[in-house]
Amino acid sequence: MRRTIFLATLVASCALGQQTNAPPKVQHLIGLENVKRNAGGTLDIQNGAMQFKGKTEVTVPLNSIEDIYVGTETTQGGGKAGTVVKTAAIAAPFHSGSALTLLLRTKVDMLTLTYHDPDGALHAAIFSLPKGQADPLRARLIAAGAHAGNLAEQHSDKELKERKSQ
């Protein structure tokens, strides 16, 4: 019995270890050349470059990245079905559908990169990631050689904005 539990725990920990090493799935919102808006793919770090792999593959050298910004956003999930449900909720009597639209909202992390192309022009790319994945990816990019501002400054700017909105 103990061996079975030990083996199950070992297999589960190995599976979790493989999942953490996998490149995060992202949605490219805007900014990468020749990549459509809202294109899905993965972000990986290999050979001194950040690689977006989707239908189109784009490589950005890490030494050309000037800064990396991290934030969170609230979005409406559910895709086309969510849009239909939201439309039906609007027609519900006595605003009873408004609670349903709250259930469709999800929080996502936003990762924004500013970088220079080979000609020296400044560009920015914005990606949406599942909640909690932007900060570790930012840390991996910096550890691999990307330039970035102080994360504490970013958080203090965020806190300042929150205080102003209250």
Element (H, E) at 123: strand 122-130
Residue range 98-114: average pLDDT?
Answer: 77
- So what's the pLDDT on residue 100? 58
pTM of the model: 0.67
Residue 11 in domain: no
**Region of poorest pLDDT, from 39-53, 79-93, 135-149:** 79-93
For residue 129, pLDDT over 90 is answered with yes
In a domain? residue 18: no
Torsion of CA 93, 97, 98, 104, to 10 degrees: -170
Whole-angstrom distance, CA of residue 74 vs CA of residue 105? 6
Q: Is residue 126 part of a domain?
A: yes
pLDDT digits (tens, 9 = 90+) for 138-151: 999 999 999 887 65
CATH code assigned at 29 = 2.30.29.30
Asked if residue 12 belongs to a domain, the reply is no
Query: Average pLDDT of 16-32?
Result: 77
Is the dihedral angle over the CA atoms 88, 95, 131, 153 positive or is it negative? positive
For residues 147 and 110, the answer to whether their CB atoms sit within 8 Å is: no
